[in-house]
Structures are given as structure tokens and as C-alpha cells.
Amino acid sequence: MKDLTTSNIERQNILNNKFAIEQIQEYIGFTGLLFENEYRFTKDMVSDFFEIEERTIERYLEQYETELKHNGYILTKGKQLKDFKLQFGHVINVGTKTTQLGLFNFRSLLNLAMLLKESEKARHLRSKILDIVIESINQRTGGGTKYINRRDEDYLINAIREHKYRKTFTSALNKYVALGNYKYSLYTDLIYQYIFKEYAKEYKRILRLHENENARDTMYAEVLKLIASFEIGIAYEIEKKSKELNRQLQSVEVDLIIKNIAQHPSQLPHIEDARIKMSSRDNYFRDAFHHKLQEYITSVSPADFERFLGEHSIENFENQLKEAEGVFKRLKDSE
């Protein structure tokens, strides 16, 4: 089981998932005080809920101030504090001379629950949070995330584009490179190695794919776009070099072309972006850990939760799959 007390990335993944947050809030049933269109909780309310002393909360606020504020903890003062006192002064214990007051919202309350080691109630809640997160993802994906990449509305257009550029790439290998059929898998693996530091077999093992499953069918739109960029660029350079020399290229010459493209400064931001998105999304949505990309793993953005778990993705998922099957069948028939 994941230890939420030690991993900021795992905590933020949960807090960025609004679908899980809604279910957790319903499960807890702790609504707080509705202030400025959001439920708020005083430190006194939080200490009662977790059955800990307020000074324990203060210690966590000092140690994790940036994280808790990022997730909604605020210090009210001035007019905002005055308005809060007017609305709730009769139900909370706040002195008239208080000049600032810390308030948690539900996300920062959960954030604290995932940090607290002194509270048995927080420990129990952490276990339930993980169960609810898994349940919410399964509910919204129909129980499987292997092909969650296809729920992105950008997937289809990038898959079609990559398929087209793949044909250009393999055609260039066929015409201008002096190797047997081995060259297709060899240079595909080399592209994968430069982009996400894994060979095809490694990628399939990490995602627990069967031997007959196509790795590219599980790749995100951004990764497919980058692969397409590599393939069309390599195809162009191979053809150009072969015509300059008036002969087919040797493997060492093709290796150098691919290396130069992969290490060109213009590619580095795109490679880094693809590594971050692939490793972070797979880590959370697929529970697939890319060891060689560990340094690139970050929390999944709220936008990505909407992209892959939102209502729009659910409504269009089946139609998109049917459309993709038809498009790829026509492409295959045209070869």
C-alpha cells in the first residue's frame, strides 16, 4: 500500500482528482462552515475531528506550509476575517482581538489527513482514501485503464498522424538502408530508447501487455506526436544522406542520424514533456512504474483528470474507439 505520509506526489495526485475528492467528501460527511462558497474548518474543528491537539496542527502547518496553502489552507485577516466572524462568531471560539485566523478547506483538510502520523483517525482515513481513489478510477474507466490514453480527444488525430509518418519511416529504411528486415525493430527500439529510455519489450513488460499487443496502442497523444516527429525527421535525413552518397546507408550511419536528431536542442523540451506525461500518468492511472523515468514523475494535473476521467471523455469513448477502428482499417487496406 502506498504511504501517503512520505510522498508529496501521491498526495497531490489524490488532491488533484476532483472525482475522488467528491466521493471522499461524501464518505466523510464533514461539511464545516460554508464561507465564500466553500466549506471551511477552523483549527479547533480539525483538532476535534482528528482527535489531536491544536499544537500538533501548528507543527504540521509550519513544516508543510507551502503544500497546505497550495491545497487551500488560508490565513484570513482584515475584511475577510471580519466577515467570517460576523457569519460564524456565535458558533466558533474566536477572541475579539484575533487579527488572523487559519482556515482549512476540504482539500487542505484531506492534505493534513494524509500527513498526520499522530492520529489513528487519520491513519484509518488514509486507507479509505486509497480505496475510494481506486474505486473512482475503475468506475469512470469501466474497470480497466490499459487503454485510458484513448479517452483523450487528441488521441485519434495523433495516432493517425503517427501511422502515416511510420509508413514514411519504414519506406525510407526499406529503400535507403542496407540491412535485412531486422532494421525495422532495431530502429524502432532505438527511437524508443532515445525518447523514454526503454526498449519496446521493457515498455510492454511495465504495462503488463501481452506479446501480441501493440505498445503504440497504449501510448498517449503527446508520445505518439513525438514519435511521429522522430520518424519523419529520420526518414528525411536518411533519404537525403543516401542520395548524397549515391548508395544505401550502413547501420553506423543511420545510428548517427538518429543520435543527432535525438540530441538536437529543439527536441529536448518535447522529449522531457513526453517523459513527464507518460511516467506520471502511467504511475497513477495504470499503477505502472517506469524505473528509468523515475526522475520525471510528478503529480497528475487537474486538467489530465478531466481529460481522462471527465464526463466528456466517457461520453465519447466508445464512439472514438469505433471511429479509430474504421480509420485504421481503411489505412491498412490502402497499404
Q: Is 240 helix (H, G, I), strand (E, B) or coil?
A: helix
The residue among 80, 76, 88, 86 whose CA lies nearest residue 33 is 88
Q: Which of 91, 114, 141 is the last residue of a domain?
A: 141
Residues 82 and 208 in one domain: no
Residue numbers of the domain that contains 109: 8-141
Q: What is the pTM of this model?
A: 0.84
Residues 289 and 175 in one domain: yes
Is the separation of the CB atoms in 117 and 52 below 8 Å?
no
Residues 114 and 217 in one domain: no
Residues 107 and 204 in one domain: no
Q: Which of 84, 119, 141 is the last residue of a domain?
A: 141
Q: Using 50, 70 and 90 to split pLDDT, how confident is the model at 157?
A: confident
Q: Rounded CA gap, 198 and 289, in Å?
A: 12
pLDDT tens digit sequence for 29-71 = 888 899 999 999 999 999 999 999 999 999 999 999 999 999 9
Residues 136 and 215 in one domain: no
pLDDT tens digit sequence for 160-209 = 889 999 999 999 999 999 988 999 999 999 999 999 999 999 999 999 99
Residues 78 and 99 in one domain: yes
What are the beta bridge partners of residue 104?
41
Q: Which of 86, 121, 141 is the last residue of a domain?
A: 141
Give the chain's radius of gyration (CA, Å): 26
Residues 181 and 50 in one domain: no
Question: How distant, in Å, are the alpha carbons of 16, 195, 229, 289, 311 from that of 268?
Answer: 27, 9, 12, 22, 34
DSSP symbols for 43-75? HHHHHHHHT--HHHHHHHHHHSHHHHHHTT-EE
pLDDT tens digit sequence for 286-328 = 999 999 999 999 999 999 999 999 876 655 556 665 665 665 5
DSSP symbols for 149-196? GGGSTTHHHHHHHHHHHHHHHHHHHHHHB-S-THHHHHHHHHHHHHHH
Q: Is residue 268 part of a domain?
A: yes
pLDDT tens digit sequence for 225-243 = 999 999 999 999 999 999 9
pLDDT tens digit sequence for 106-121 = 999 999 999 999 999 9
Tally of domains within the chain: 2
Q: Is residue 3 part of a domain?
A: no
